[in-house]
Amino acid sequence: MIPILDVSALLWFLICWLGYTRFADLRARDKLTLMSAMHGYRRQWMREMMHRDVRIVDSNIVLILARSATFLASTTIFILAGLIAVLGTMDTAMEVVGDLRYAVKSSREVWELKMLGLLLVFIYAFFKFTWSMRHFNYLSTIIGAAPMSHELPAWSDSFAERAAKVSSKASNTFNRGLRAYYFGLAFLSWFLHPLLFILATTLVVGVLYRREFKSGMLKELGDPDDFSAR
């Protein structure tokens, strides 16, 4: 039987993660956020790109962005391998954590739930990072297919907006994978105490909210509507 406090902590974790993701997506539609501000910069980038004959700089930017997703996808594989290895030595892990002064002793059933949950968090992150890599591959193809703005002036703004949306989708997918890392770190606290798990999850939501909606970086980026089309 799983204690009610552990069930409550897990439910709070899911509510916070899913609820914050939904909130952030909806807020970006009508408020200035890091996501909406960066979309404005991406739109301007694509407009500038369509004025360039040689697009080596643009290709290198996409390569750098894709490399970050590739690195974290590889890192996630190592994390998953480590977690699977712990599954084979769960009794030892339970003893080590159980010896900590402030850790709550849990049954093997609860430990299996915790390990499975942590595995699922990082599996989700892996899928997001690899999907982001695919998005950046698509973006590189779009950049290669982009006409010069003077060749199709009536179509250039529409093409730039479409390319910017693909770039934003790639970055937002990467951001969701990175967000899984934040919540995965909060999930680790559940191995010590469910109340600490609730506190860590709430703290992660607070940190994410501040960075995406109230950070100094957002103020420096400014409103994307300040950009004007050529």
In this predicted structure, which of 63-67, 84-88, 96-100, 200-204 has the lowest mean pLDDT? 96-100
Q: Is 228 left (phi over 0), alpha (psi -120 to 50) or beta?
A: beta
Could you tell me the two tokens for 198?
């609730």
Q: Residue 230 has what pLDDT?
A: 43
Q: Residue 28 has what pLDDT?
A: 82
In this predicted structure, which of 69-73, 100-104, 211-215, 222-226 has the lowest mean pLDDT? 222-226
User: H or E segment at 196?
Assistant: helix 194-213
Q: How confident is the model at residue 94 (pLDDT cuts 50, 70, 90)?
A: confident
Residue 229 in contact with residue 47, Cβ under 8 Å?
A: yes
Q: Residue 152 has what pLDDT?
A: 65
Q: How confident is the model at residue 175 (pLDDT cuts 50, 70, 90)?
A: very high
CA angle 26, 205, 189 (to 5 degrees): 145
Q: Residue 106 has what pLDDT?
A: 80
Q: Residue 229 has what pLDDT?
A: 44
Q: pTM to 2 decimals?
A: 0.89
Q: Residue 153 has what pLDDT?
A: 66
Q: How confident is the model at residue 144 (pLDDT cuts 50, 70, 90)?
A: confident
Sorted by sequence, the CB contacts under 8 Å of residue 25 that are 6+ apart come out as: none
Q: Residue 96 has what pLDDT?
A: 82
Could you tell me the two tokens for 182?
């934040």
Classify residue 101 by its DSSP letter.
T
- Annotated domain spans of the chain: 4-223
* Rg value, the chain, Cα: 22
